[in-house]
C-alpha cells in the first residue's frame, strides 16, 4: 500500500571543496601526537573576533549549497553575514537586539536593494560550535592539514568537528552534521539519516574586522516581511543545527535547550502514535525545531486581490455529471506530469514551488515534455505581483505574473535555487510555456477532482497543524487546523483502507513524509484544501 513506501531512501553525492592558500600558510605543525598534551589536548578557545568564509553542502539535498562570508566581533557584540558575494547581507547587534536584512527585489520592473528590520532575541552570537558538547576523539588529517577531531552526540544528532591550529590560534576547518530518524518496522528499529550536511571553513583572518565592515548600506530599513525573518537568521546562521548551540529563546518565554525541544516533540510524536489515529508521525529533520521556526518552512500569504477567473464549471449539476465519469483514483505521477520532489528549505517560498508544480504539469499536458521550471525566478522577479521571495507570497499572484510576462525559462537556463532572495536576471527571449488563463477552482470535492483530472496538477493552499511537520504515512486527518499558510501541489486522489484521500506533493524534500508526499483526508474540507486551488491553461 502507499503507506508502506520507505521513508529511509537516501541519496549520496560526491563533493569538491575550496582550499585556501592563506589557510595553508597560517598552519603550523601541531597536535602531531597526543603526548604533547597528554591524552587530550586543551579545549580550543575560539577567537573573540575574526573574518572567515564557510561553504555548506547538503548530502541529502544534492542541489543545495550556500557560501557565506562572516565578520564577527565580540567587543562590538556584532556579526555580519554576506551570502553569495553579498547578494544578501545580514547585520546583527545583540546589545541592541537589532537585526537588518538587505536583499534584492524588483520594483516597477527595476532591481533595487531593500532592507527589512527584525528583532533579535537570541541568546548567543558566537559563530562557532559550543565545545561543551564535544569530546576529543583523536588527531586526524583533513585535506593534508593536521587537525584534532571532536565529536558530539546530542539527541538524534551527531556532529564531528575538525579543528586546525594556526600560528594565531585554533581554526574550525570543517563540520560534518548528521540528524538521524528512527522508526519501528514490525519489531525492528530502523535508523536512517534525515539530514546530512557538511561545512568547510576557509580564508580565516583572526582579529577585529575593519571598521567599515559595520557600516550598513545607506538605505531606509523599513521593508515589511511576512514569515518569521528572525527565526531564519537565528536558525540558519547563529543557532544552526550543525553547531548544536545549547539554547534558543522565544519571545516572552524561558530559554529552551535543543534537547528540551526535541524531547517535547518526541513525546508529542510518541503520544500520537500510541493512539487510534489513521496516520503516523515520525521524528525527522524538523524534530528539534520550535513551532515558530517551522513557520519559515511555509510562507503562503493569500492575496486579498482576486486576479483569477472563477471556475468554468459554475453549474453544480454540470460538475456532478462530469464527476460521475471520473476514475476511482488518479495519480498524475503515473502519467508523467510530475517532476521530482524539491526542497524549499528554510525559506518562505512554498508559494513558488506550488505555482511551478502546477505549471510543470500543464506544460507537460500541452507539449508532452516534462521540464523543470525555476522557483527562484518567481522569487526574484515577481515582486510587482505582490510576492516577497523568501518572505512569503501567493501562488495565484505568481501564476498571473507568468501569464503577464509571457512564460518562464527552464531551471537550467535560470540557474540554481538559493533558498534566499536573489537578483532577477531572466532573458525574455528564453521564455517558454506561456499561460492563457489562470482559473480558481470552485470549493467542492467533485470540482477539485474534475479540475485535477482534466487540467493537470493543481496549485493549492492548505493549513498546517504542528504535527504535519512529522508526518510519516497514512491518511492525514487532524482534529483541528487553522488558517491556510502553506502552498503545495495536488497531484491525485484515491482510497486507502477505506479512507478517501488527496495525494499532495510537498516541497520539504524527499526525506519528509511519503518520500516528499502526504495523503490528506478528502472528507469534508480538511486543512481548507478546497478553498484556494488553481489550474492553468496554456496558449
**pLDDT tens-digit series, residues 454-495:** 999 999 999 999 999 999 999 999 999 999 999 999 999 999
pLDDT(25) > 70: no
What value does the mean pLDDT take over residues 173-186? Answer: 72
User: With contact defined as beta carbons under 8 Å apart, do 161 and 274 qualify?
Assistant: no
Q: Distance between CA atoms of 396 and 405, rounded to whole angstroms?
A: 14
Q: What percent of the chain has pLDDT over 90?
A: 61
Q: Residue 309 — pLDDT band, cuts 50, 70, 90?
A: low
pLDDT band for position 232 (50/70/90)? confident
Averaged pLDDT, 268-273? 96
Structure confidence at residue 180 as a pLDDT band (50, 70, 90): confident
Q: Is 424 an active-site residue?
A: no
Q: How confident is the model at residue 5 (pLDDT cuts 50, 70, 90)?
A: very low
pLDDT value, residue 49: 95
pLDDT at position 23 is 36
**What pLDDT, on the 0 to 100 scale, is given for residue 514?**
98
d(CA 426, CA 441): 30
d(CA 133, CA 159): 10
Residue 62 pLDDT class (50, 70, 90 cuts): low
pLDDT value, residue 3: 35
- Element containing residue 420 per DSSP (H, E): none
Mean pLDDT, residues 518-537 taken together:
98
Give the model's pLDDT for residue 130.
80
Residue 30, pLDDT score: 35
Is 413 a residue whose pLDDT tops 90? yes
Q: Range with the lowest mean pLDDT among 223-227, 420-424, 457-461, 526-530?
A: 223-227
Question: How many Cβ atoms from other residues are within 10 Å of residue 141's Cβ?
Answer: 13
Report the pLDDT averaged over residues 270-287. 94
* DSSP 8-state code for residue 432: B
Pairwise pLDDT comparison (5 vs 460), residue with the higher score: 460
Residue 234 near residue 124, CB atoms below 8 Å:
no
pLDDT over 70 percentage in the chain: 81
Residue 96's pLDDT is 86
Instruction: Please report which confidence band the pLDDT of residue 304 belongs to, taking 50, 70 and 90 as the band edges.
Output: low
Check residues 449 and 223 and name the one with the higher pLDDT.
449
Residues 6+ apart with CB under 8 A from 271: none
If one compares 413 and 37, the residue with the highest pLDDT of the two is 413
* pLDDT in the model for residue 106: 94
Instruction: For residue range 100-119, list pLDDT tens digits in order.
Output: 999 999 998 899 999 999 88
pLDDT at 99 exceeding the cut of 80:
yes
All three cell numbers of 351, joined, read 508559494
Q: Has residue 153 got a pLDDT over 90?
A: no
Q: Annotated catalytic, 350?
A: yes
Q: Looking at residue 126, what is its pLDDT? A: 72
- pLDDT bin (cut points 50, 70, 90) of residue 327 is very high
**Grid cell digits, residue 214:** 559595520
What pTM was estimated for this model as a whole?
A: 0.87
Tell me if 22 sits within 8 A of 204, measured CB to CB: yes
Pick among 3.50.50.60, 1.10.3720.10, 1.10.10.10, 3.90.70.10: CATH of 291-538: 3.90.70.10
Is the pLDDT at 338 greater than 60, yes or no?
yes
Predicted pLDDT at 275: 95
Residue 367 pLDDT > 50? yes
Using CB atoms within 10 Å of the CB of residue 398, give its burial: 0 to 12 exposed, 13 to 18 middle, 19+ buried.
buried
Q: What is the pLDDT of residue 38?
A: 46
Quickly state the pLDDT bin for 201 (edges 50, 70, 90). Answer: very high
Mean confidence (pLDDT) of the chain: 85
Q: Which of 59, 196, 311, 486 is catalytic?
A: 486
DSSP conformation class of 293: H
Q: Which of 126-135, 216-225, 478-487 has the highest mean pLDDT?
A: 478-487
pLDDT class of 16 with cuts at 50, 70, 90? very low
| pLDDT above 90 (res 165) | no
Which tens digit of pLDDT belongs to each residue from 64-98? 788 999 999 999 999 999 999 999 999 999 888 88
Task: Determine the average pLDDT of the residues in 146-151.
Answer: 94
CA–CA distance, 251 with 242 (Å, rounded to integer): 23
Instruction: Give the confidence band of 132 by pLDDT, cuts at 50, 70, 90.
Output: confident
What is the CATH T-level fold of the domain 21-247, as seen in this structure?
outer membrane lipoprotein receptor (LolB), chain A (2.50.20)
pLDDT at residue 242 in the model: 44
**Predicted local distance difference test score (pLDDT) of residue 20:** 39
Whether the per-residue pLDDT at 27 is higher than 80: the answer is: no
Distances (CA, A) of 85 to 54, 113, 161: 12, 14, 26
Q: Catalytic annotation on 437?
A: no
Beta carbons within 8 Å of 357's beta carbon, 6+ residues apart: 338, 339, 457, 459, 488, 489, 491, 505
Higher pLDDT, 280 or 245: 280
Task: Kindly list the domain boundaries of the chain, sorted by start residue.
Answer: 21-247, 291-538
**Catalytic: which of 350, 358, 390, 424?**
350
DSSP state of 516: T
pLDDT at 22 over 90: no
Which of 265, 397, 473, 506 is catalytic? The answer is 506
Q: How far is CA 119 from CA 61, 261, 379, in A?
A: 30, 22, 24
**285 by DSSP, 3-state: which?**
coil
**Cα–Cα distance between 203 and 246 in angstroms, integer?**
27
Phi, psi (deg, nearest 5) at residue 138: 145, 175
Q: Which has more pLDDT, 369 or 224?
A: 369
Question: How confident is the model over 243-259, as a mean pLDDT?
Answer: 56
Amino acid at each position: 500500500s502507499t503507506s508502506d513506501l520507505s521513508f529511509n531512501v537516501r541519496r549520496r553525492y560526491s563533493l569538491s571543496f575550496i582550499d585556501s592558500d592563506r589557510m595553508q600558510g597560517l598552519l603550523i605543525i601541531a597536535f602531531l601526537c597526543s603526548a604533547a598534551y597528554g591524552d587530550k589536548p586543551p579545549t580550543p578557545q575560539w577567537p573573540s573576533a575574526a573574518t572567515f568564509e564557510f561553504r555548506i553542502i547538503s548530502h541529502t539535498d544534492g542541489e543545495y549549497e550556500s557560501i557565506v562570508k562572516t565578520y564577527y566581533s565580540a567587543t562590538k557584540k556584532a556579526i555580519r553575514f554576506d551570502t553569495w558575494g553579498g547578494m544578501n547581507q545580514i547585520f546583527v547587534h545583540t546589545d541592541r537586539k537589532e537585526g537588518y536584512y538587505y536583499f534584492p527585489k524588483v520594483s516597477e520592473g527595476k532591481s533595487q536593494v531593500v532592507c527589512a528590520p527584525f528583532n533579535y532575541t537570541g541568546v548567543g552570537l558566537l559563530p562557532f560550535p559550543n565545545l561543551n558538547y564535544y569530546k576529543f576523539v583523536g588527531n586526524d588529517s583533513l585535506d593534508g592539514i593536521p587537525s584534532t577531531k571532536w565529536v558530539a552526540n546530542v539527541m538524534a544528532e551527531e556532529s564531528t568537528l575538525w579543528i586546525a591550529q594556526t600560528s594565531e590560534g585554533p581554526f574550525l576547518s570543517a563540520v560534518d552534521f548528521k540528524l538521524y530518524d528512527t522508526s519501528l518496522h514490525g519489531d525492528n528499529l530502523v535508523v536512517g539519516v534525515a539530514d546530512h550536511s557538511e561545512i568547510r571553513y576557509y580564508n580565516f583572518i583572526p582579529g577585529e574586522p575593519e571598521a567599515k565592515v559595520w557600516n550598513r548600506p545607506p538605505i531606509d530599513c523599513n521593508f515589511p516581511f511576512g514569515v518569521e525573518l528572525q527565526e531564519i537568521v537565528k536558525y540558519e546562521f547563529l543557532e544552526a543545527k550543525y553547531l548544536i548551540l545549547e539554547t534558543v529563546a522565544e519571545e516572552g518565554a524561558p530559554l529552551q535547550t535543543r534537547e528540551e525541544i526535541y524531547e517535547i516533540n518526541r513525546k508529542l510524536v510518541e503520544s500520537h502514535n500510541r493512539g487510534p489515529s489513521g496516520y503516523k508521525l515520525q521524528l525527522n529533520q524538523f524534530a528539534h525545531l520550535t513551532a515558530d521556526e517551522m513557520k519559515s518552512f511555509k510562507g503562503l500569504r493569500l492575496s486579498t486581490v482576486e486576479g483569477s477567473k472563477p471556475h468554468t464549471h459554475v453549474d453544480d449539476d454540470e460538475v456532478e455529471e462530469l464527476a460521475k465519469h471520473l476514475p476511482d483514483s488518479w495519480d498524475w505521477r503515473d502519467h508523467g506530469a510530475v517532476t521530482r520532489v524539491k526542497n524549499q528549505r528554510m525559506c518562505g517560498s512554498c508559494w513558488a514551488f506550488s505555482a511551478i508544480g502546477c505549471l510543470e504539469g500543464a506544460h507537460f499536458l500541452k507539449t508532452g515534455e516534462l521540464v523543470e521550471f525555476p522557483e527562484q525566478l518567481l522569487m526574484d522577479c515577481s515582486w510587482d505581483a505582490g510576492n516577497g521571495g523568501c518572505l512569503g507570497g501567493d501562488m495565484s499572484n505568481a501564476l498571473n505574473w507568468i501569464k503577464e510576462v509571457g512564460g518562464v525559462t527552464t531551471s537550467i537556463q535560470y540557474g540554481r535555487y538559493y533558498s534566499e532572495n536573489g537578483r532577477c536576471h531572466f532573458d525574455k527571449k528564453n521564455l517558454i510555456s506561456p499561460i492563457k488563463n489562470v482559473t480558481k477552482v470552485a470549493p467542492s470535492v467533485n470540482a477539485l477532482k474534475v479540475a485535477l483530472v482534466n487540467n493537470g496538477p493543481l496549485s493549492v493552499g492548505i493549513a498546517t497543524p504542528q504535527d504535519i511537520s512529522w508526518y510519516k504515512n497514512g491518511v492525514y486527518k487532524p482534529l483541528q487546523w487553522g488558517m491556510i499558510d502553506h502552498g503545495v501541489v495536488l497531484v491525485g486522489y484515491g482510497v486507502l483502507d477505506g479512507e478517501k484521500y488527496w495525494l499532495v506533493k510537498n516541497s520539504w524534500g524527499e526525506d519528509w513524509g511519503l518520500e516528499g508526499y502526504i495523503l490528506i483526508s478528502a472528507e469534508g474540507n480538511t486543512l481548507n484544501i478546497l478553498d484556494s486551488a488553481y489550474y492553468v491553461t496554456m496558449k
